[in-house]
Amino acid sequence: MQPCPAWRKSSRSNSDHAECVEVAGIHHGVAVRDSKEPDGPVICVDRRAWRSLVDALRDGR
C-alpha cells in the first residue's frame, strides 16, 4: 500500500477562487486533482511533463 500523497494548493489560491487545483509529488512524477473534488479523478504526469507545463504557463503560452 502506498502512502497518501501530501496535497498542496497554489499560494495564489484562496477561498474566492473556485478554479483551484492541488498537486502532490509522487514517486514517478506529479499528481494533479480538482480541489473541489478530492475523491475525484487524479491526473499523473512525469516530472519532465510537469516542468514543461509550468514553464509554458509562466511564459504565457
Dihedral of CA 6/7/13/15: which sign? Answer: negative
Domain total of the chain? 1
Q: What is the DSSP letter of 59?
A: T
3 against 5, higher pLDDT: 5
Q: How many CA atoms lie within 13 A of 3 on its CB side?
A: 7
Say yes or no to pLDDT of 32 above 90: yes
What is the extent of the structural domain holding 29?
Answer: 21-58
**Is residue 13 scored above 90 in pLDDT?**
no
Contact criterion met (CB below 8 Å) for 17 and 32: no
pLDDT of residue 1 exceeding 50, the answer is no
Report which DSSP code applies to 48. H
| Domain presence at residue 6 | no
pLDDT in tens, 39-54: 999 999 999 999 999 9
Please check whether residue 44 lies inside any domain of the structure: yes
Residue 31 lies in a domain: yes
Q: 8, 22 in Cβ contact below 8 A?
A: yes
